[in-house]
Structure 1
Amino acid sequence: MNSVYKFILEEYGYDEPVFTKELKKNINISDGTLRQNLKRLSDKGALIKVRDGIYYVQKADSILQKPRVNIDKVIRRKYIKTIDQNVIGYISGINFANQLGLTSQTASVSTIVTNETGRPEHVIMFDKKKVKLKKSKVKITNQNYKILQILDLLNSLDQVSEISLESSIRLINNYLKNTNITINDLKPYIKFYPRKTLENLLEMELYNEPAQA
């Protein structure tokens, strides 16, 4: 069995997006050899090419004549959370407000704030699905993504929420449950947001006081 194909099967399995960028970091061969292997596997049909730099292994018993990977899964893996569970982005805007229950509205084009773009804001197309990408104000990590997500929300709360302030506070607090955000946690990020974000934060008291020494 081809060593690259074996590695992909062991690390990713079937119907999981495989990114060339990730493979380069995790497999001990030169970039040129990796490209040749991927092209050879793709030409043989062992790998299905979604687009440049993105592949997957189709299950052998698939009945689909035109195999397709789950595009939402590709987008999540590329822009939100890697295969090793590192958070690199998050859903923002009205679709995040909808997830929390603040509104019944949804947007046909999801907004994702991510580390994986160098441009302030632009729209990309995967298959027939549009996604708006926004560059994060700071590097997104497992530890801070919820903080940044809520700060983004507070910046546009009056535009996206259809419910009372009291209900909004309850739902946001439920999302932040077990996060234990203190004002000290917020200080590195609040400077990147308008004054109204801070005012909403203070009014809603969405943080805990730091423990006294």
Structure 2
Amino acid sequence: MLYEYLVKNYKVAEPIFFSDVKLEGITRSAINQQFKKLCDEGKLVKYENGIYYIPKKSKLNGTVGINADMVARYKYISRRGRIDGFYSGNFFANQIGISTQVPNKVEIVSNNIAAKVREIPIGKRTFIVRRANIKVTEENVHVLQMLELLKNLDAYLDEDYSYAKEKFRTYINVHGITREDVDLYIREYPVNVFKFYYELRLDDVFA
């Protein structure tokens, strides 16, 4: 019963969180026993405590599984059609092209953490996860991600402000961010965000 449910609801080599699996009429203890049995049979693989996946057979008769980055993304950023967070810090600065720095620890802002900030070990990686001050949704994720980066912009810049402005312009246009979106959230951020918003003259981008 559990295996049929998992095959129906999860793709192969996709993280399965034990806490997400709920079957009507079956206790958590019984579900845990079924997970163990499926692992013993090779139908599931346990990645870490509470995290599993359906293995994918490779052409070399091995199996393809999940990795730490995928688990972090599913747990803290998005899974099953729901947006809960976003990448931040140097990792995001590198993504949009204002920095060439490659951080050892990827930073994430997420709804799915109770502490203000924690270092989370996953596999052989460590992620810095911060609690979102504003609930992250599909509608606001991109504007919040941009404002979060503006908090400490100077720490990430490899080039001058004019170069950064063009990178932000591209990001704003790609994601359809409006001045109204910014106005809705910017007052919830520290004064540094206003400072960098002004220094970059981002109002011109929306003109």
TM over 0.5: yes
Task: Quote the residue 2:155 is aligned against.
Answer: 159
Aligned to 1:49: 46
1:182 to 146, 169, 178: 178
Q: Distance in 2 between matches of 1:140 and 1:55?
A: 26
Amino acid at match of 1:130: T
Q: 1:145 is aligned with what amino acid?
A: V
Indicate whether 1:106 and 2:94 are aligned.
no
Matched, 1:13 2:40: no
The answer to whether the Cα contact below 8 Å between 1:173 and 1:206 also exists between their aligned partners in 2 is no
Percent identity between the two aligned chains: 28
For the residue of structure 2 that corresponds to 1:107, the secondary structure is coil
The 2-side partners of 1:28 and 1:143 are apart by 32
CA contact (8 A) 1:180 1:207 kept: no
Give the superposition deviation at 1:23. 2.0
CA displacement 1:100-119 (0-9 Å, x = unmatched): 11011111100011111111
CA deviation vs aligned residue, 1:153-178 (integer Å, no higher than 9, x gap): 11111111111212211111211225
How far 1:35 moved relative to its partner? Answer: 2.4
In structure 1, C-alpha distance between the alignment counterparts of 2:24 and 2:95, rounded to whole Å: 41
- The Cα offsets for residues 19-47 of structure 1, whole Å up to 9 and x where unpaired, read as 123222xx434342322322222233321
Secondary structure of the structure 2 residue equivalent to 1:69: coil
Segments of structure 2 that go 5 or more residues without pairing to the other structure are none
1:74 aligns with 2:52: no
The yes-or-no answer on 1:40 pairing with 2:13 is no
Q: What SS class does the counterpart of residue 82 from structure 2 fall into?
A: coil
AA in 1 matched with 2:138: N
Contact 1:182–1:207, Cα closer than 8 Å, also in 2 = no
Aligned match of 2:127: 131
Shift in Å, 1:7: 1.7
**Count of matched residue positions in the alignment of Structure 1 and Structure 2:** 203
Whole-angstrom CA distance in 2 between matches of 1:7 and 1:68: 19
Q: Is the 8 A contact 2:68 2:124 kept in 1?
A: no
Q: Structure 1: which 5+ runs fail to align? A: none
Structural RMSD (CA): 2.2
1:145 is aligned to 141
Give the TM-score taking structure 1 as reference length.
Answer: 0.85
- Is the counterpart of residue 91 in structure 1 residue 87 in structure 2? yes
Q: Which of 190, 201, 206 is 1:194 aligned to?
A: 190
